[in-house]
Amino acid sequence: MEETVLRLEELLFPSIADIAVLSVDVNDEVVLIEARCTMAGADCVGCRGWSERVHSSYPRFPADVPIAGKRVRLCLRFRRFICGNALCERRTFVEQMAGLTRRYGRWTERLRSTLAAVGLALAGRAGARMAGVFGVAVSRRTVLRLVEALPDPDPPVPRVVGVDEYATRKGRFYGTVLVDVETRRPVDLLPDREASSLAAWLAERPGIEFVCRDRAPFFAEGATVGAPQTVQVADRWHLWHNLSEAAERCVAQHRSCLGVLVREPAESAVVASPPETTGSPWPTGHRFADRIRDRHATVHTLLAQDTADARSAASST
């Protein structure tokens, strides 16, 4: 029997020392596990002094990760100890079960880390829905708070760093995103896109060899000032983007030559219903709007031709 209890404790609390399972009660939805700490005393939270003088005790019911599809609720009896240190500002203190609970926590530490992992993967709203699937009622804001409370990762200094801007509100507020080009992982975010901010960030990381950036002057200046030892290169995405924009401008300027070829098969029909006489509420004279209007007319003309051809084919058979 004793061996069974030990195995049960190992199963339920594999990394928690000094804990005894008193009872396990299972109903249709919830597994209720009653447990207590087996240490004779505890360290005072004020002066770190040891005390075994029990003042009182009370139960707490933190939620835990589910078992076999059922929600788990612990019933932990916590003792309040008297601190014997006359110089300590605390007269009593409550014990904590290291690795299992924290002060004022309504979840176990492993449920807290599980919810934080869900939040990292899915963020607030979807994370809260996923938590509901395994029986934990939690708001999206709480999921986000758990993610924000995680310590910041400390990625290694990249050898090739990509620099670009990001918008928190497009057209109004911009920051700078820094990416490890070799791992394709974001490394850091700066709250603005000032040359001085980028220069300060680069100056703290002398191991950087290449800065991959667009042609914005503030990034060029920041990289030159903060990391003069690096080689600056224009990144491939911006080169292709600039090239495609130039090609589009060039084609648009010569579209009158191309338009004849494109519209030729439907010329007669287009002339029959020119876009300017369709009563369109949109203004004419804008190059982009005129292109869209011409394309719309051409599509409908071809559609009408196809329908007429299909009808004549059907009537002839």
- State which residue, 88 or 122, has the beta carbon closest to Zn ion: 88
Q: Write the binding mask 180 to 219 for Zn ion: x where contact by CB under 5 A, - elsewhere.
A: ----------------------------------------
Helix or strand holding residue 34 (H, E): strand 30-37
d(CA 205, CA 276): 61
| Min separation Cβ 96 and Zn ion, Å | 14
| Min separation Cβ 100 and Zn ion, Å | 22
Q: Write the binding mask 26 to 65 for Zn ion: x where contact by CB under 5 A, - elsewhere.
A: ------------------x-xx------------------
Per CB under 5 A, the list member of 72, 74, 83, 116 interacting with Zn ion is 83
- State which residue, 90 or 255, has the beta carbon closest to Zn ion: 90
| Min separation Cβ 90 and Zn ion, Å | 5
> Quick one: DSSP state of residue 275?
G
| Min separation Cβ 46 and Zn ion, Å | 4
- What residues have CB less than 8 Å from 77, skipping those under 6 apart? 34, 36, 57, 58, 59
First to last CA, the chain: 89
Question: Do residues 133 and 122 make contact, with C-beta atoms less than 8 angstroms apart?
Answer: no
The first and second tokens of residue 164, run together, are 């670009």
Q: Say which amino acid occupies 146.
A: L
| Min separation Cβ 85 and Zn ion, Å | 5
Question: Do residues 167 and 191 make contact, with C-beta atoms less than 8 angstroms apart?
Answer: no
| Min separation Cβ 79 and Zn ion, Å | 15
- What residues have CB less than 8 Å from 39, skipping those under 6 apart? 18, 95
- State which residue, 43 or 165, has the beta carbon closest to Zn ion: 43
Neighbours of 222 (CB within 10 A): 27
Which residues within the stretch 84-123 sit at the binding site for Zn ion (CB under 5 A)? 85, 88, 90
Stretches 80-88, 267-275, 278-286, 309-317: which one binds Zn ion (CB under 5 A)? 80-88
- State which residue, 46 or 135, has the beta carbon closest to Zn ion: 46
Question: Do residues 93 and 50 make contact, with C-beta atoms less than 8 angstroms apart?
Answer: no
Site residues for Zn ion per CB under 5 A: 44, 46-47, 83, 85, 88, 90
